[in-house]
Amino acid sequence: MSTAKLTFASILGLVTVAANAATQAVNVAANGIDMLDNTVDQMKQKQRHENAVDLVFSNDQYTASASKADAEFMLNINEFRSKSKLHEEMFDKSLARVQSALAAKAKAA
């Protein structure tokens, strides 16, 4: 009978060891998932910050580029109009015709 008790105790000991090992494996897996989740959260936050900064820089660059292009356009118009009185009159007439055509197209739409 004592042999059966020892064998049963040994089996219970093995079951306990196996249960503890399984619990530790689950804990390790849970810790790994938590670490992965934290890493993903940090990456998402970093990406949000980078996107916000990139958007500001992109807006600044676009604004500066568009302003420069508009200034160059206006200088070219001014240079053309200042060539002679005829250049000025012809430009103004052409501008009025184009604006009138655009207004008529917008009104029809």
Residue type, 14: L
Check pLDDT > 70 for residue 34.
Answer: yes
Q: Nearest to residue 69, comparing CAs of 61, 57, 58?
A: 61
Given a cut of 60, whether residue 99 has pLDDT beyond it is: yes
CB 83 within 8 A of CB 93: no
Q: Please choose, from the candidates 51, 48, 70, the residue with its C-alpha nearest in 3D space to the C-alpha of residue 59.
A: 51
What pTM does this model have?
Answer: 0.53
Q: Which pLDDT score is estimated for 51?
A: 96
